[in-house]
Each structure stands twice: as C-alpha cells, then as structure tokens.
Amino acid sequence: MDKSSQQAEQQDRYSRQGPKRSRITLWVILSLLGIMIIGAGSVVLYVWSSLQPTKAGEVQRLEVPKGTSANEVADLLEQQGMIKNSFIFKYYLKLKDQGGRFQAGIYELSPGMDNDAIIAKLNAGDTVAAETIRFTIPEGYTVLQIADKLAAEKLIDKEKFINLVATQKIWGDAEAVRSIPESDKLHERLEGYLFPETYEMKIDSTEEDIINRMVSELDRKLAELPEGWLDVLDERKITFHDLLTIASLVEREVVVDNERALVAGVIYNRIADGMKLQIDATVQYSLDKPKERLYEKDLLVDSPYNTYKVEGLPPGPIASPSLASIQAALYPEDSEYFFYVTKKDGSQSHLFAKTYKEHLRNIEKSNQTAG
C-alpha cells in the first residue's frame, strides 16, 4: 500500500472514532452533573427536612440557665425533642441573625412547634413562673428562732441549717457578712446578719441558698442608707459588727419607732461613761429560750452576752435588726439620758431618766400604771 493510501485509511479511522469519543465525554459530563444535582438536591432535602417541626406532642418545660449561648440552647432543644437537628438549627439562627437575644428562664414548649415560633418565644423571654417558696422572717428573730420557723414550715433541715450558720465561709458576693470577727465568743456566727424580710425563692432552694439569699439581702438594705454612712462608723470609732450589735439591742428593746434613736443614744452614753449596759434582752439571749419575766438569778448567768456582768457591747448581735434599728444605731439621738424603763400601761413606750434616782422614780411610776 502506497503512502497516500495509508494516510487516507488512518484519517477514515479517526473519523469513525471521533463521534464515539465525543459521546463518551458528553456521557461523563452529564453523569457528573447528574451526581452533583442529586447530591445538591439531597443536601437541600436534608436541610429542609431537618428544619421541619418535630412530631406534635405534649407540652414540656425547657430550662435555659443564665449565660447559656444560642448554640447551647439549640442542643437543649434537640435533646428535648423540640427540633430535629441542632447542627442545622444553629446555621439557621446565623442565617436569620437570631439567638443573641435569647433569655434565660423556664419555657413551656411543645414538640411540633415551628422553628420561628420557638425563636420568637425565646427572644421574648416568654417564660413560665417558677414554683416558689415564700417565707417571712420577723424583725428581732434570732438564728435559732429563724431555724425553728423554717423547719416548722418544712423548708429546711434545722441541724443542717445551724451547722451552715456556724461555718466560716464566704457567702457568694455578700460583703457585710465578711465583717464578722473570728471569735470563739460568738454564740451564732451569722447572728444579726440574716436580714428579716419576706422572701420568695425557688421551690428547690437548699439551706445554703436560703442563707446566702438572706445575707445578700442585708447588703441590699444597707445600700439604702444615706451616702457616707461608712464614714460615720469611722467617726464613732466602731466597726460595722459593732453597729449591727447595737442595732440588734435596739431592735429587742424598742417597739415604738420614734424611740429607736433615743434608746441607741442611751446605749452610746452608757458606753462612753464606762457603765455596764444592763440590757435585759442580752440576758434573754444568754438563756437561749426567752422568759416572760427575768429574775435576779437570771441576771447572774455566766455569759459574754450578759451585759449585767460584762462591760461594753456583747461579742455580737443578739438578733436580726431591721433597717430602722440599723439607722438608729448609726444616727442616735443626742440626749443626757442614761436610763429607761418600759411603761406598764400597754403603750410599750419608755420613761427616760438622766440619773439613777430619777430612774427609780420612773420605775415606781411605771408600776403604778400597771393594769
């Protein structure tokens, strides 16, 4: 075969193979496009399916703790069956620019809810009221009285509560309680620092939660005092612990509000003059269980709290004082009185005296008014 014939045959062979190769290339391209379309469709279908509401069910409670991120909320929602896929939900939140305003709390959500409805509820903070306990601590209660009351209301284990009160620890961010001196003379370490108030707390609050709430409330109340009150302590050369001790004495001695500052002034006068305070309430505290009437033998009780025997202030507060008594101890009324006696006419007010002789006359007057 000559050269021209060979070239013609080769060209004819290439002509026959060309369409075949083109068809293979086209088939490969179409196959790849098909695979890509199917893959993309599958992804779209997966995402669409993942964002569909879950099967409808009964209402459930979802708790979102304070400080929980949007991603963590998504995980919680999936765990409780509110959404199908937290991973996809997180990207949905980013796409919708949502999640930054989610609020902490307890929510009632139903499986089957639309994603946007869930997001709207979390943004609005549409929470349910948590079940709570409510209790009132009267002014002038001691730690033991507080423990007895809370135990009677089945809110605490009394022994555990008392043990915690005696513990030398830091109670969260509470500041005032850090003023308690390290002293083995203190009868109850937190005496006077559990502020008397009506409290509402979560139903599952522990003894530690309750104590922490009460000592923190004292800080909040102190913030209501006039600006510069700490400077007054320095001027009087007393500690905050001393102030609270004086306030507790006022609380247990006074019923009539307008006498609080006057009685506080008497206490300061007696301390400045080197006189024993001789306050019956400190004897009652020494006895643990208050008596309706004190006898001469009771005044001899051996206790650092018995101000008939010890000079100056007792080691610490003898009860939980009100803010009014704290203010009275901080800003006492100036007078020349050193003595007072309770009137026995039912008014619960006092007769004040400058001298012991005048005080004896007041005692006689008081006895004469007894009904």
CATH number for the domain spanning 79: value is 3.30.1490.480
What is the residue whose two structure tokens read 């104590």?
211
**Helix (H, G, I), strand (E, B), or coil: what is residue 146?**
helix
- 208-255 confidence digits (pLDDT tens): 999 999 999 999 999 999 999 999 999 999 999 999 999 999 999 999
| CA geometry: angle 229, 235, 239, nearest 5 deg | 70
Distance, C-alpha 160 to centroid of its chain = 19
Q: Is residue 335 part of a domain?
A: yes
Judgement on whether residues 242 and 206 belong to the same structural domain of the protein: no
Q: What is the pLDDT of residue 316?
A: 96
Q: Is residue 36 part of a domain?
A: no
Judgement on whether residues 361 and 244 belong to the same structural domain of the protein: yes
Cα atoms found within 13 Å of the Cα of residue 264, Cβ hemisphere only: 28
Is residue 311 a contact partner of residue 228, using CB atoms and an 8 Å limit? no
Judgement on whether residues 137 and 68 belong to the same structural domain of the protein: no
Per mean pLDDT, which range of 115-129, 164-178, 289-303, 311-325 is the poorest? Answer: 289-303
Is residue 304 a contact partner of residue 188, using CB atoms and an 8 Å limit? no
Helix ranges (H only) for 178-239 are 207-222, 229-236
Burial readout 100-121 (b: 16 or more C-beta within 10 A, e: otherwise): eebeebebebebebebeebbeb
Higher pLDDT, 56 or 289: 56
Is residue 366 a contact partner of residue 298, using CB atoms and an 8 Å limit? no
Judgement on whether residues 244 and 357 belong to the same structural domain of the protein: yes
- CA dihedral sign of residues 90, 96, 100, 103: negative
Is residue 352 a contact partner of residue 266, using CB atoms and an 8 Å limit? yes
Closest of 120, 266, 251, 271 to residue 194, by C-alpha = 251
Judgement on whether residues 86 and 211 belong to the same structural domain of the protein: no
Enter the tokens of residue 277. 């305070």
Average pLDDT over residues 286-302: 83
Judgement on whether residues 286 and 233 belong to the same structural domain of the protein: yes
Q: Please tell me whether the overall predicted TM-score, pTM, comes out greater than 0.95 for this model.
A: no
Count of the separate structural domains present in the chain: 3
Of 83, 104, 124, at which residue does a domain stop?
A: 124
Q: What is the pLDDT of residue 41?
A: 66
Enter the tokens of residue 81. 């069956």
Judgement on whether residues 97 and 141 belong to the same structural domain of the protein: no
Judgement on whether residues 181 and 211 belong to the same structural domain of the protein: yes
Judgement on whether residues 259 and 363 belong to the same structural domain of the protein: yes
Q: Is residue 38 part of a domain?
A: no
Judgement on whether residues 207 and 240 belong to the same structural domain of the protein: no
Q: Please enumerate in sequence order all residues whose Cβ is within 8 A of that of 254, keeping only pairs 6 or more positions apart, or say none.
A: 260, 263, 325, 328, 350
Judgement on whether residues 351 and 244 belong to the same structural domain of the protein: yes
Q: DSSP assignment of 247-296, as one string?
A: HHHHHHH--SGGGHHHHHHHHHHHHHTT-----HHHHHHHTSS--SS--T
Q: Is residue 45 part of a domain?
A: no
Q: What is the pLDDT of residue 51?
A: 82
Is residue 307 a contact partner of residue 276, using CB atoms and an 8 Å limit? yes
Enter the tokens of residue 261. 């500052």
Higher pLDDT, 44 or 20: 44
Q: Is residue 17 part of a domain?
A: no
Average pLDDT over residues 135-148: 96
**Helix (H, G, I), strand (E, B), or coil: what is residue 108?**
strand
Eight-class DSSP state of 341? E
Residue type, 191: E
Rounded to the nearest 5°, which phi and psi values hold at 10? -65, -40
Q: What is the pLDDT of residue 367?
A: 86
Q: What is the pLDDT of residue 214?
A: 97
Q: Is residue 337 part of a domain?
A: yes
Confidence tier at 25 by pLDDT (50, 70, 90): confident
Q: Is residue 260 part of a domain?
A: yes
Closest of 65, 108, 70, 107 to residue 92, by C-alpha = 70
Judgement on whether residues 241 and 309 belong to the same structural domain of the protein: yes
- Bridge partners (DSSP) of residue 341 are 351
Q: Which domain holds residue 154?
A: 132-222
Q: Is residue 301 part of a domain?
A: yes
**Helix (H, G, I), strand (E, B), or coil: what is residue 18?**
helix
Average pLDDT over residues 315-323: 97
Of 74, 94, 124, at which residue does a domain stop?
A: 124
Of 207, 222, 237, at which residue does a domain stop?
A: 222
